[in-house]
Chain A
Amino acid sequence: MRQIAIALVFVISFVGVSCQFGKKKPINEKPPTSLTVTKIEPVNPVQLSANSVDQFISWAGRSDSSDHLRIREEITKSGKNNDVLELLFQRLDKTGLNDLGKSLVILSIIGEMRNEQSLKKLAEIVWKPLPKVEAPGHAALNERDYSEMLASKAVECIAYLKTPESDKVTLEVIKKHESLPIRAAAIDAYLYNHGDSERERDRLREIVLVTDRPFVDCIRKSTVVKKEAFNEGLKRFYEKYPDQVAPLPEKPTGKMLQDSGKIDTPVPPPIKIK
């Protein structure tokens, strides 16, 4: 009996502690600041070869910014390796839209290889028939979005090949593809791979759909474009296309939802681990 009683006391105190975890209050409780991080496995660099395709994909996907250029160099070293290219396409086929993030990593590696043998298969991805336009639910992406995202990445890979044939395919996409997101990606990639020259911009203005003309003048937001230059470019865009400036927001309904409780000061998170 005594044993059972002791056991029950133990269980009750354990369950009590567990329930604290699910308790709704208090929200103002100070966050923990102690650093108790479990061991984080290091990422081991891998060379890209026919024997290490899967390991390389894993490394590339998990890599942080310090490995970015190293991965780029590793990919370039294997750029002409058709066996590696074939294996990467096999992995891409297998992954497909089931894990689009992984597929995008694989496509990035394929594109960075800059291997002309990839053109045909990349073009197949770009021209694969898209699901019909549908009304997605609130904030959602749908099957068409997923296909467009994969195809947009593929057309960026094509443009990066920068050969007369790849330029021809890219221009065909710009002129004729049914999807605006894919055409917009193709316009941007074509200009990027032609030094963003005014000559090429003028050339595109002549061949794009009238409704796509603003996309020829889009600026790129990246860390190689300084804030002042980016802001200037964005301003120029809306001066050139004043019809693309959003109208005044609709007037407030006048019904402002009030908080029922007091305003809490957000509690800072625990100390940053890196």
Chain B
Amino acid sequence: MKMTRIFRTIMLALFLTIFGQSMMVPRSYGQCTNGASQADLDLWATHNCWWDFVLWQYKAYRMFSGEWGSSGFFDACNLNLPFAKAVNASYLVTYGLSDNYNYQWHGTIDYRKAAEAWSSSTHNQITYKISSNRNWFAMADCSAKATTMGCLLFDFGQFSNNPAARAGDYMHESWHHWDCKHGYDPSHMNGPVGACTLGGSSCDWYYWHGVGAYDFGQMDQYTSDGRYFHSPNQVQVEFLCDVAECAAGFVPASVKICAKTEANQRLSSRFRNAVGYRCGDPRPW
């Protein structure tokens, strides 16, 4: 008799919990098209929604329930939804590089400082938001102290629905925040111009430097003569090329191929000046 009562109590509690949660959490997960790409699935399989990391990530990137609640925040291990995809990209930033001093442009510490939301010598504290906009990848708004990620980074069927592109965009937007923190104009140049083949506000200069010119941890340092300086597309490309060529051993081939292809595409289409290198060997596999 007593057991039955306990059982009924537990059942009632479970019912109320599930029903209550379903009332609180929106059933429609934002407006982005759900679904994971092969590269997302491949990277996800290396950590399988490592919960300790999820609990660290949302604080480090300041992705809060108010903004991400309808984009999978309450279903954080569902890779079909944007929040889990953002976690996957953060995982790549945090662990995806081998930190090979002889080959990498910059170290994990640099890319983490750029991508994470905390206030640092790279940028002021920001918050990551999400929007259903499909006109841009993401948008850094210095005055709002926010980076808003658009659906193109999450839509199933879009190339940019992969962890390398998303992580690369963390870098790109973070460098607009760097501009603002250091008093530089955060806007791009209008193209097409020089070797930049695109129209609209898409082009940057590439301020060349050698491997090892910046010690790891010094990427945000600069000199006003441009000898040490970065533009948003440049930081993005350097990160992508580091993932392509210097990834940690566990990073799946599909992620590295996406990173390399996007790095070379940007190298030959986003810079007003010709860039003196290409990323990786052109051997097919």
Contacts known (A66-B249, A181-B264); A230 close to B277, Cβ less than 8 A: yes
Q: Which of B181, B226, B258 contacts A256 (CB 8 A)?
A: B181
> How many residue pairs, one in A and one in B, have C-beta atoms under 8 Å apart?
388
Q: A105-B253, A231-B212, A234-B277 are in contact. Are A140 and B136 (CB under 8 A)?
A: yes
A273 touches B47 (CB 8 A): yes
| One of B62, B73, B124, B284 near A111 (C-beta < 8 A) | B284
Whether B193 sits at the interface, judged by CB under 8 Å, is no
- Beta-carbon nearest neighbor of B227 in chain A: A248
Question: Is A133 engaged at the interface, CB distance under 8 Å to the other chain?
Answer: yes
B119 touches A98 (CB 8 A): no
Q: Could you tell me if B248 and A274 are in contact, using CB atoms closer than 8 angstroms?
A: yes
**Most chain A beta carbons < 10 A, residue from B120, B137, B197, B268:** B268
Docked Cα-Cα span, A145 to B267, in Å, equals 12
Residue B21 is within 8 A (CB to CB) of chain A in the complex: yes
State whether B182 touches A256 (Cβ < 8 A). Answer: yes
User: Chain A 243-255, CB within 8 Å of chain B: the 1/0 string?
Assistant: 1111111111111
Q: Is A164 an interface position by the 8 A CB rule?
A: no
Contact of A14 among B17, B42, B125, B272 (CB under 8 A): B17
Residues of B within 8 A of A33 (CB): 52
Q: B180, A257: Cβ atoms under 8 Å?
A: yes
Instruction: State the interface size on chain A (CB cutoff 8 A).
Output: 130
- Say whether A210 faces chain B, with CB atoms less than 8 Å apart: no
Say yes or no: B284 contacts A248, CB within 8 Å: no
**Residue B254, interface by CB 8 Å:** yes
Residue B80 at the A interface, CB < 8 A? no
Find chain B residues with CB under 8 A from A260 CB: 124-125, 145
Within 8 A of B (CB), among A153-180: 153, 156-157, 159-160, 179-180
Distance, CA A189 to CA B20, complexed state (A): 59
Q: Are A156 and B183 in contact (CB under 8 A)?
A: no
Quick check: B42 and A61 within 8 Å, CB to CB? yes
Interface presence of A45 (CB below 8 A): no
Please give 9 more A-B residue pairs, beta carbons under 8 A apart, in addition to A3-B12, A139-B136, A146-B159: A15-B20, A21-B65, A36-B52, A37-B50, A101-B162, A160-B284, A215-B268, A233-B276, A249-B226
Interfacial residues, chain B to chain A (CB-CB below 8 A)? 5, 8-9, 12-13, 16-17, 20-21, 24, 37-39, 42, 45-53, 55-56, 58-60, 62, 64-66, 69, 73-74, 94-95, 100, 102-103, 112-113, 116, 118-120, 124-125, 133, 135-139, 142-143, 145, 150, 152, 157, 159-160, 162, 165, 169, 172-173, 180-185, 188, 191-192, 195, 197-202, 205-208, 210-212, 222, 224-226, 229, 232-233, 236, 241, 245-255, 257-258, 261-262, 264-265, 267-269, 272-285
Q: Give A contacts to B, CB under 8 Å.
A: 3-4, 6-8, 10-11, 14-15, 18, 21-22, 24, 27, 29, 31-41, 60-66, 68, 71-72, 75, 97-102, 104-105, 107-112, 133-141, 145-146, 148-149, 152-153, 156-157, 159-160, 179-181, 184-185, 188-189, 192-193, 211, 214-215, 217-224, 226-227, 230-231, 233-235, 237-238, 241, 243-267, 269-270, 272-274
Q: List 16 A-B contacts (CB under 8 A).
A: A4-B12, A7-B16, A8-B16, A61-B252, A63-B252, A99-B38, A101-B162, A108-B257, A136-B136, A160-B282, A180-B269, A184-B267, A214-B274, A219-B276, A230-B210, A243-B273
In the complex, the 7 A-B pairs of residues with the closest C-beta atoms, listed nearest first? A135-B200, A111-B284, A22-B65, A137-B136, A237-B276, A231-B210, A252-B183
